[in-house]
């Protein structure tokens, strides 16, 4: 017996409707459950041993918590730093032990729930600008150590300004929906097939250090993986956090583990140096970590699967643009970077073959020209060299010309840069 085409269409229609109803019910249930949250565990306060306090301080460095939880020029950890997101402004909270505006009244259980489940002391769901998709990986004892460390900060009375998020992103329902789709709480589970160093590295990189928060593009709804590092634009659009899966972008496959450790500890190695947001990560974060942890992070980073980024076919820029770029290069850049982009030994990077120049995204080349910058002051390089900003000296067209020139000279074969690209990054 064969159904007529009409009947078949009707059946298909009903199947779709039924499927949609089931999906809607499942989603509603998930949202309701998310909104309900979980109770904070109760129990005795953890003992503030010297070992725990030291471990907590180290974890705070690894997570660079105070980078976001300190306003510029403000008291350490007192919050008030505004983060620009596509959904509006998020203002960081006060982590000092002030009872009214900080964490003073929080129990260790409530603090653990915030890091593990992304819920505030009053049960409200937290915004994932606070990287709880990563901190959920922390062990309970490490969370306690961090809690105890934060209680040693000088208390500061400072109530954070309210967030300025657009509707519907400012609702708890939107957050619950986001969590139902993107958030799965769960401590890190060591992989028995891997070495202890690898597991320690994975624990730090995908957990408290939340590297993928920048090194991965968020989806349109702000979701991101914790162990994929395919590269992404920073939320303010000014810098590009390159893929760690591609040695031509930001991957470490072509380096030795010592090189990777050196970059995180000293801010530079024989191949590369850090600038912009990564300079802040090194200055206040990774350079303070013990060598064993940096080596563990390197072990994990060197094991990442290779995933070459999509590189469009090479198209040479117009001669006119390159001629203009060459003239500007000679005038402004050659003194330090050399006539043939060869760089100055150990001081100014060679631009010939430098991946920060040839990355698929031109954003970092543009931003380096516009904003310049120093590499971070570290124990190995307390008096870093730097590059001047050319924001005032060069127009968008100038920057496009010189960026195109360096991306297409001395064997470099990367895409040309337009004035519009520059205007976006300015």
Q: Which of 242, 325, 376, 415 binds other proteins (CB under 8 A)?
A: 376
CB 176 within 8 A of CB 34: yes
Helix axes 5-36 and 172-182, enclosed angle (nearest 10):
110
Q: Which of 185, 302, 338, 419 binds other proteins (CB under 8 A)?
A: 338
As a 3-state breakdown, the chain gives helix, strand, coil percent values, each rounded to 5, of 45, 5, 50
Which of 123, 185, 222, 248 forms a contact with other proteins (CB under 8 A)? 248
Query: Binding string, 95-114, against other proteins, x = CB under 8 A?
Result: --------------------
Instruction: State the helix-helix crossing angle for 396-407 and 319-332, rounded to 10 degrees.
Output: 100
Q: Which residues contact 62 (CB under 8 A, 6 or more apart)?
A: 204, 208, 209, 285, 286, 289, 293
124: Cα within 13 Å, side-chain hemisphere: 9
Using an 8 Å Cβ cutoff, are 263 and 329 in contact? no
Indicate the pairing of strand 232-233 with strand 240-241: antiparallel
Instruction: Write down the least CB distance from residue 423 to other proteins, Å.
Output: 15
Query: Which residues are registered as beta bridge partners of 70?
Result: 79
Residue 289 token pair: 């970590």
Q: Which of 107, 181, 372, 424 binds other proteins (CB under 8 A)?
A: 372
Which residues from 294-313 bind other proteins, rule CB under 8 A?
305-308
> Contacting other proteins (CB under 8 A), which of 43, 86, 168, 386?
386
| Identity of the residue, 358 or 361, whose beta carbon is nearer to other proteins in the bound complex | 358
374 is a site residue for other proteins (CB under 8 A): yes
Of 327 and 381, the one with the shorter C-beta distance to other proteins is 381
Q: Which is nearer to other proteins, 279 or 399 (CB)?
A: 279
Write down the least CB distance from residue 412 to other proteins, Å.
8
Q: How far is CA 160 from the centre of its chain?
A: 23
Find the binder of other proteins among 21, 340, 380, 420 (CB under 8 A). Answer: 340
Does position 87 interact with other proteins (CB under 8 A)? The reply is no
d(CA 378, CA 164) in angstroms, rounded, equals 36
Task: Please tell me whether residue 233 binds other proteins under the rule CB under 8 A.
Answer: no
Binder of other proteins out of 30, 225, 234, 350 (CB under 8 A):
350
Interface pick for other proteins out of 53, 89, 410, 419 (rule CB under 8 A) = 410
**366, 423 Cβ separation under 8 angstroms:** no
Q: Which stretch binds other proteins (CB under 8 A): 40-48, 103-111, 290-298, 385-393?
A: 385-393
Q: In degrees to the nearest 10, what's the CA dihedral of 399, 404, 406, 412?
A: 160
Q: Quick one: tokens of 110?
A: 């409530």
Least spacing, CB of residue 371 vs other proteins, in Å: 6
Q: How far is the CB of 425 from other proteins (least distance, A)?
A: 13
Site residue total, other proteins (CB under 8 A): 54
> What is the binding site for other proteins (CB under 8 A)?
71-73, 246-248, 253-254, 267, 276, 279-280, 283, 305-308, 335-336, 338-348, 350, 352-353, 371-377, 382-393, 410-411
């Amino acid at each position: 017996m064969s159904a007529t085409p009409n009947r078949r269409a009707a059946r298909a229609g009903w199947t779709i409707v039924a499927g949609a109803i089931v999906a809607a019910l499942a989603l509603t249930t998930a949202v309701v459950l998310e909104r309900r949250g979980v109770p904070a565990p109760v129990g005795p306060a953890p003992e503030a041993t010297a070992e725990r306090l030291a471990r907590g301080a180290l974890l705070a460095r690894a997570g660079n918590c105070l980078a976001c939880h300190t306003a510029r020029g403000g008291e350490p950890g007192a919050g008030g730093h505004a983060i620009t997101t596509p959904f509006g402004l998020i203002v960081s909270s006060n982590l000092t032990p002030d009872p009214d505006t900080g964490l003073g009244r929080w129990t260790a259980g409530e603090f653990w729930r915030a890091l593990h489940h992304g819920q505030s002391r009053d049960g409200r769901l937290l915004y994932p600008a606070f990287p709880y998709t990563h901190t959920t990986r922390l062990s309970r004892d490490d969370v306690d150590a961090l809690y105890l460390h934060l209680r040693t900060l000088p208390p500061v009375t400072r109530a954070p300004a309210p967030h300025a998020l657009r509707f519907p992103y400012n609702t708890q329902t939107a957050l619950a929906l986001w969590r139902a789709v993107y958030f799965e709480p769960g401590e890190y589970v060591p992989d028995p097939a891997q070495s202890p160093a690898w597991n320690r590295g994975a624990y730090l990189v995908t957990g408290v250090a939340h590297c993928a928060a920048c090194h991965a593009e968020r989806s349109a709804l702000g979701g991101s993986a914790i162990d994929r590092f395919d590269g992404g634009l920073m939320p303010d659009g000014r810098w590009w956090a390159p893929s760690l899966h591609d040695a031509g972008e930001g991957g470490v496959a072509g380096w030795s583990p010592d090189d990777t450790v050196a970059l995180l500890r000293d801010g530079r190695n024989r191949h590369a140096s850090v600038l912009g947001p990564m300079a802040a990560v090194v200055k206040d974060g990774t350079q303070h970590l013990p060598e064993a942890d940096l080596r563990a992070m390197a072990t994990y980073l060197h094991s990442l699967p290779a995933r070459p980024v999509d590189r469009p076919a090479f198209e040479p820029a117009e001669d006119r643009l390159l001629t203009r770029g060459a003239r500007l290069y000679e005038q402004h850049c050659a003194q330090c970077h050399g006539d043939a982009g060869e760089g100055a030994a150990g001081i100014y990077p060679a631009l010939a073959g430098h991946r920060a120049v040839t990355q698929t995204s031109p954003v970092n080349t543009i931003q380096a020209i516009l904003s310049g910058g120093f590499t971070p002051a570290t124990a190995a390089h307390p008096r870093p060299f730097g590059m001047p900003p050319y924001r005032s000296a060069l127009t968008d067209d100038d920057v496009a010309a010189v960026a195109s020139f360096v991306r297409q000279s001395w064997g470099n074969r990367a895409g040309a840069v337009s004035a519009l690209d520059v205007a976006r990054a300015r």
